[in-house]
Amino acid sequence: MFPSEHDVEAFRTEFGAESIIHRLAIPRQSFCGTQAAVVMTPASTKDETLARAWELVRAIAHWILARAPELPANERYEVIVGWSQAVRRKQGQIFKWGGELATIRGMADSSDWRQYEQALRHNWGKDVFEKR
């Protein structure tokens, strides 16, 4: 069953120890969802940070796409990139977006986060860049 212990370990090896991948039933629906979350530390600027965060979104999407054939066609996916607890104790999300496999494929193919601007979380940089 996905994700197996091997899948979780492979995900953490690729994306870091704070990373999470899990699958859950979606209440009152006849399908499940796979949630993948990765954390990061800020780059030198907000623009560099957003570019790096989007590259993580794309890397997660590619990781999911490589394993999607194991999952049912009606699976839903959610991709999250947020702050490491070392940056922001209560963490917080930078990008969060999901949907069906076609959405994940679109994210993987998109080199510019502005195509998914709605995925950028409000106040994503709060209390991070002010400290610098």
DSSP string of 14-31, one letter each residue? HH-TT-EEEEEE-TTSSS
Residue 13 covered by a domain: no
CA distance 119 to 132: 25
pLDDT in the model for residue 131: 61
Residue 17 covered by a domain: no
Residue 16 covered by a domain: no
Longest dimension (CA), the chain: 47
Q: Summarize the confidence of residues 103-119 as an average pLDDT.
A: 95
pTM for the model: 0.92
Residue 4 covered by a domain: no
CA distance 75 to 83: 26
Full domain range(s) for residue 43? 33-132
Q: 32 and 25 in contact (C-beta within 8 Å)? A: yes
Q: List Cα–Cα distances, 69 to 75, 98, 130, in angstroms.
A: 11, 17, 43
Pairing of strands 32-40, 76-83: parallel
- pLDDT averaged over every residue in the chain: 91
Residue 12 covered by a domain: no
For the stretch 32-73, pLDDT in tens is 999 999 999 999 999 999 999 999 999 999 999 998 888 888
Residue 15 covered by a domain: no
pLDDT in the model for residue 11: 96
Q: Which residues contact 78 (CB under 8 A, 6 or more apart)?
A: 33, 34, 35, 36, 96, 97, 98
Residue 82 covered by a domain: yes
Instruction: Give how many domains the chain has, as a whole number.
Output: 1
Residue 49 covered by a domain: yes
